[in-house]
Structures are given as structure tokens and as C-alpha cells.
Structure 1
């Protein structure tokens, strides 16, 4: 349950990713193929949008969604606006192609610096990269504390409290002032856009920025300047037929032998 909120402006960083249910692949330059497959707002980022909306609905604020990516990444912004966000920013520049997490964090941080904000929300990771390091990289660049992997968030005035659930323990973390927060998929289901929300989104402002607009030199980003990149990859081998074992009274033993041979037990 969220208490009275004094926070007025929240920026939510969202990512446009290839549909995880589609047949994803790499392009000739070993970057993720984003043209040969349908894309959408990363599901993990939907939770961040939802939590930001809940915070401002409990008080008096507004939510701006920020994305970095090609032209189609505008779809991620549009989905967040349909959910209820108030405005969007899309950083688009040909030089961004192939940027790794370090360059992406630079672009996001510079864009966030240009916005008014009290809190910055992220999903815990992107569904295509899955690294989970961008929120803390952005926090470091902004000089802000980061409270990450929140499964529950409470905002009271300028204080944010989160619960972080681990494998063997639960932590409660509290911080105040401007913060970067990342949320997990345990924070509660994200809302579906209503018809009213879909129609209202068409009138909400969306700004388009280039690298020049946010003061980022093209030589700091892109595939050629990436600190990490995919050197090679191999397609997953086709699935083979399973082994059929006839139970002649020793089925349990055969099952254990199979599991042991595969080092499952």
C-alpha cells in the first residue's frame, strides 16, 4: 500500500525488445536482429511502469517514459502511455546501433539529466540482454543511490522503502532523496491498457531526441566502441526424439540411471 506521496516526477526507462515467443536471431554484425522479428515493450519494464503509476496515483505526480532505440522503439513508449504514463521521450540516432550496456547507460543518464525527476524506475533487466546492470550503471553516472531488485515498494514523502526477496533471506532497504529503483516481476501484475487509455495516449506528448540533443558524442557509443560484443554464435541444435523406456519392473532404476548420466542428480 502506498502512502501520501510528495514525489512529483518519475522517469521510467523502458526498452523495446524482440518478442520472446518469436524465433529470435542475430544479424550479420552479430547484433540482435530487431527487424526480422516483432518487437514490444519488455515485459519486465511493464512492472516498472506499473509501480511508477501506482506511486503517482497515490499522490500527485507524473510519469515520463524514456526509451533508447530505433524507430520502432516508439511502440514501447506508446504502450507505456496507454497504460497511463503522462509523456514520453525517444532517443533515436543511427550511431546508437550496437551499443552495449555501458554505452546505453551513458545515453540514458544524459537523457535523464535533461529531464525533471525525483525518482528513476527500471525493470530488473531486459528480456533480450538479461544483464541487469544498466540501472546501477545509470545510478553511478548520475551520482545517485540505487535500490535494486525491489519486490515491494513504499514511498512516504521523499523516502523510499523496498523489500528485496532473495533465495534464503529478505532484505528491507530504505533511502531518501533522488534515487534509482529497479523492480522485479514480483511487484504485482501490470495493468492492461484500457480503451480510454489507448485513445488518451494519442494526445500525450512524445519528444524525439538525438545524441546531439543530449550531449553525447557518437564516438562514445555504437558497435565499434562497445566494451562488450558477441564474437560468434551457434544456433541451438534441433530437438531430438526422446528415449522410450519400457517399465519391466526396473523403470525406477532406469530413470535414476538416466538422470545420473545427465548429471541431474
Structure 2
């Protein structure tokens, strides 16, 4: 038997850089370096620990929605040990809110197939933490949060 784990990750602006808003009132990411959200690194690490302690074959897929630069977040997760990556990139998604993002993530997760979905507790750029709950609702699965 195998276990398919999908980990949602987000490419966020480096918090040490200057942040400005673009004309469309989204964060201007052009002049700021980005990186894999630190809280999503914990989610990837949790998936790796599950794989390490499992008697089954485990396949870890990292998934992100974002611009071309978001590939850097996927590369980081792959370098940590994830098996594969999915990048949903569409210019029409620029500025999408949490509700829209959760819909896109849910569709991608359903297409990829999964047994377990892991998300960080929030992204370090918005720190809202609502996408995992919205995602669980869209997938029709239970959600466990804020584990320590």
C-alpha cells in the first residue's frame, strides 16, 4: 500500500525586504526577494517525518499556486526531500483571495490524488491561516489544526 501526501506551500516575500503595494493594491513583489514560507517548511518537514516512520511507500507532492517565481518555493521543498511538485501558474489568478486560492488548490489536489493533505498553520506574508480550513471544506475532509 502507498500513502500519497500533498503539502500546500506558498512563495512569500522575504520579511526583511521593503514592502510596497502595486497600483492594484496587491503586494508589489517585483523588487522583493521571495522564499518558501517558513511555516510551510514545517509542513514539508512533517510530511517527511511521516514518510520516514511509515512502513508503507510514501509519495510526497508539494503544491503551490503563484507566479513563475513561486517555483523557487517548490525547489526548496524538493531539496528538503519531497518527491514531486505541482505549480499552478496563471496570470488571471494574480491577486486572488483565500477563497479563490482554496478553490484552485482543491481542484489541483483532487486531480493529483491524495490520502493526506498537510498545510502550514498560515503563510508568513498574510498570517490569516484560513486557507487550510477552506481547503478541508472544499475537499469534504476533516481538519486538524495547531498541533504541537
Q: TM-score range by the shorter chain?
A: over 0.9
Choose between structure 1 and 2: higher helix proportion: 2
Distance 2:17 2:31 in 1: 10
- Larger Rg, first or second structure (1 or 2): 1
Question: For 1:215-254, what aligned pairs fall within 5 Å after superposition?
Answer: none
Provide TM-score, normalisation by structure 2: 0.96
User: Structure 1: any 5+ residue segments left out of the alignment?
Assistant: 1-5, 152-265
- Runs of 4+ aligned structure 1 residues displaced above 3 Å come to none
The residue aligned with 1:12 is 7
Equivalent residues, number: 146
- C-alpha spacing 1:12/1:127, structure 2 compared with 1 (3 Å): same
Residue 128 (structure 1) shift: 0.6
Distance 2:142 2:24 in 1: 36
The residue aligned with 2:22 is 27
| 1:15-47, Cα deviation, whole Å (9 max, x unpaired) | 000001111121111101111100000000000
SS at match of 1:126: coil
Distance 1:120 1:96 in 2: 22
SS at match of 2:118: strand
The residue aligned with 1:72 is 69
1:89 aligns with 2:86: yes
The residue aligned with 1:117 is 114
Provide TM-score, normalisation by structure 1: 0.54
1:145 aligns with 2:128: no
Distance 2:15 2:24 in 1: 21
The residue aligned with 2:34 is 39
Distance 2:95 2:28 in 1: 11
The residue aligned with 1:184 is none
The residue aligned with 1:134 is 131
| 1:214-239, Cα deviation, whole Å (9 max, x unpaired) | xxxxxxxxxxxxxxxxxxxxxxxxxx
Distance 1:46 1:108 in 2: 18
Distance 1:61 1:121 in 2: 14
The residue aligned with 1:53 is 48
Distance 1:42 1:26 in 2: 19
User: Structure 2: any 5+ residue segments left out of the alignment?
Assistant: none
Kept after mapping to 2: 8 A contact 1:41/1:75: yes
Distance 1:7 1:108 in 2: 22
RMSD between superposed Cα atoms in Å? 1.0
Distance 1:49 1:7 in 2: 18
Residue 62 (structure 1) shift: 1.4
Kept after mapping to 2: 8 A contact 1:7/1:56: no
